[in-house]
């Protein structure tokens, strides 16, 4: 997967929140094979006790750090948080979140586009958390984004690809734009489904972090993403309305009773 001219060895991105311990987190990242991990500047304040140890721990995994603006509800909050994250982590990459609805955590499309325009003008590589809305996607690209990250379902719900047909339409509409399903995935099969549809990657957190065995679940998601991508590249068979025999009729023995006493 290639994002902002950076070649990544994996199509899985993993969040770093809610894990039972730092050791489980690092083991899960390794087991998943994730090339990118997201971190929240708001959740883990840089000046908090132990915060420097957390950042060092993440860096030791070898994964690329993708700071996010989780919890931001306005353009000013999101832009300020992104600027702080660039200083703390030394990266221009930012996962841009501007939340518009407290219950669904749905992005505010108007604030999202405005914040994206400001940040791309300042040299940020913006990865915007958005919906499957095509018009919003167009506006984000016009604002300078080179990647779109539509949700599968609201954050933390585990509902999978709730609007699969709309996501499929988005994939067809933005043929040459990297698309990453972000949020709402609860099972490896759902990640495989997104990859089979032709999405370039997936980003998830809760399904791994809150699993009974986060390390095993991380490995399962890594395998599912790889399998789904391989299936897409191999070419899935089109669905049919009627059955089609897998064994040809031509050449079968004639079991008619003609000529027998």
Query: Residues 230-233: contacts with CB within 8 Å, 24+ apart?
Result: 231/192, 231/195, 231/196, 232/195, 232/196, 232/197, 232/198
E strands, 108-188, in order: 125-130, 149-150, 180-182
**206 known ligand binder:** yes
Q: What token pair was written down for 248?
A: 């040809």
What sign results for the dihedral spanned by CA atoms 83, 85, 86, 87?
positive
CB 159 within 8 A of CB 104: no
Beta bridge partners of 201: 180
**160 known ligand binder:** no
**156 known ligand binder:** yes
Residues involved in catalysis:
95
Binding-site members for 1-deoxy-D-xylulose 5-phosphate are 156, 183-184, 205-206
């Amino acid at each position: 997967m290639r994002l902002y001219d950076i070649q990544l060895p994996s199509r899985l991105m993993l969040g770093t929140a809610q894990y039972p311990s730092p050791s489980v987190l690092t083991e899960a990242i390794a087991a998943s094979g994730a090339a990118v991990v997201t971190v929240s500047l708001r959740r883990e304040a840089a000046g908090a006790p132990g915060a420097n140890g957390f950042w060092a721990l993440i860096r030791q995994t070898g994964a690329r750090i993708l700071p996010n603006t989780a919890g931001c509800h306005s353009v000013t909050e999101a832009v300020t948080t992104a600027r702080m994250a660039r200083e703390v982590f030394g990266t221009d990459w930012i996962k841009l979140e501007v939340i518009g609805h407290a219950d669904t955590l749905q992005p505010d499309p108007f604030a999202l586009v405005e914040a994206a325009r400001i940040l791309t003008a300042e040299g940020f590589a913006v990865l915007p958390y958005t919906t499957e809305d095509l018009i919003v996607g167009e506006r984000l690209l016009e604002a300078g984004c080179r990647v779109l990250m539509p949700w599968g379902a609201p954050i933390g719900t585990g509902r999978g690809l709730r609007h699969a047909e709309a996501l499929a339409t988005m994939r067809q509409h933005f043929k040459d734009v990297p698309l990453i399903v972000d949020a709402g995935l609860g099972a490896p099969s759902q990640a495989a489904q997104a990859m089979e549809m032709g999405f370039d990657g997936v980003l998830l957190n809760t399904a791994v972090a809150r699993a009974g065995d986060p390390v095993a679940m991380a490995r399962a998601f890594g395998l599912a993403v790889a399998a789904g991508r391989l299936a897409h590249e191999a070419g899935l068979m089109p669905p049919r309305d009627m059955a089609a025999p897998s064994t040809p009729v031509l050449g079968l023995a004639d079991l008619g009773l003609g000529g027998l006493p």
